[in-house]
Amino acid sequence: MTPRWVIWLGGILLAAVIAAALYFPSLRHQVDKVAQLTEKTAEQARRELIPPAPVRTGGPMVKAKLYWGTRAQDGTLRAVIVDLPLSDDPALRAKQVLNTLLAGPVDPEARTLPPDAALLAFYILPDGTGIADFSEALGTSIPSGIQSEQTAVESITRTLEANVPQVQRLKILIHGQEVDSLAGHLDLTQTFQVNGSGLAAQPARSGTSIITRPIQKAYEKMKAATKR
């Protein structure tokens, strides 16, 4: 016959297992919540280090068009309209839209730029060249690859094209320096075409790289015309 103390011990162990099984999902939920909170806090800290671009206080909200990716992460960009109090000053306006682009879309899977990257400076030269100086994280945290790097730059150029017509082309610096490539693939020694219609209508200036898809279509048309 089984001693009474063994039955009691078995009962206690069984109760402990049931209690643990009931408590585990709640514990997991709490751990996930804490992890999310830590992530947000890190990102918040980074943003606090970068002074936000001055905004036109009291001014009317403007419908800014920002280009983020899609969940498919296949290089497709999707325009999202965001109400922003945009400045009339082109450089400040560029900072505002790029900071919003960096902050990311509602769906984090549609991000085109790494969450820990920051825009350190943006200025516009008299010839219409915009200089965007990003932190090192733009190159080190972006998913490596031609497609992902091209998508990142394209999201920047198309966002500028839609909101800051004064920027004709874009030069990307990393921490104030020109670098060879973004993350081993996309050429950052050149400038990227921002505003201005396509290759066929307006030949690129020296050192200009063109990456937008409409321009690729223009290239195809030009090639077909050359063949004829």
Q: Which amino acid is at 114?
A: P
Backbone φ, ψ for residue 177 (5° rounding): -115, 150
Which among 74, 76, 87 is positioned nearest to 145, based on CA atoms?
A: 74
Q: Is 157 in the site for another protein (CB under 8 A)?
A: no
Nearer to another protein, 36 or 181 (CB): 181
Nearer to another protein, 88 or 180 (CB): 180
* Secondary structure class of 153 (helix, strand, coil): helix
**How many Cα atoms occupy the beta-carbon half-sphere of 32 within 13 Å?**
6
* Secondary structure class of 226 (helix, strand, coil): helix
- Per CB under 8 A, the list member of 26, 180, 225, 228 interacting with another protein is 180
Taking contact as CB under 8 A, which single stretch among the options 59-67, 99-107, 115-123, 183-191 is the one that binds another protein?
A: 183-191
Residues 119/98, Cβ–Cβ less than 8 Å: yes
Q: Is 74 in the site for another protein (CB under 8 A)?
A: yes
Q: Which amino acid is at 88?
A: D
- Per CB under 8 A, the list member of 151, 159, 163, 168 interacting with another protein is 151
- Per CB under 8 A, the list member of 91, 118, 186, 194 interacting with another protein is 186
Residues interacting with another protein, by CB under 8 A?
72-75, 143-148, 150-151, 180-181, 184-190, 192, 199, 203-211, 215-216, 219-220, 223
